[in-house]
Amino acid sequence: MTLESPTFAEIAAALICPTRRKILTSIQNGWRSAGEISTSLKISRARVSRHTLILRRAGLVWAVYEGRRVLLHSVYADFAFVTLRVEPASVPSRCATPTEQDEAIVTQMMRSE
């Protein structure tokens, strides 16, 4: 991964997914592990990892490694300022599927934890 600034398209793509917005809301007030997020949102740890990877690439989430755990926190304390105006037909019914490259990065990260 590079340390380039995310584009507006990457940020918008990250925020358009309802699951990712729920993750951001759950971590805006403090550091939480993927397991804690998974339990509170009732989704698998694998899905949390995939979604947080996209959020990290968009520059919206900080991650700190604590032993085998990855603790996550939102970069911004309040997402109320973010407004996305999209036509109803352009809103995806589901979150975008991670690419094969995303899958490889997540797999590598989980092995190194």
> Among 5, 36, 6, 27, which residue's Cα sits nearest to residue 72?
27
Residues 64-108 have pLDDT tens digits of 888 888 889 888 765 544 444 444 444 455 555 555 555 555 555
pLDDT, tens digit, for every residue of 15-40? 888 899 899 988 988 899 999 999 99
CATH entry 3.40.50.2300 includes domain 8-76+96-112: no
Q: What are the start-end ranges of the H helices in 16-95?
A: 18-27, 34-41, 45-57
What pTM, to 2 d.p., does this model score? 0.66
Domain layout of the chain by residue ranges: 8-76+96-112
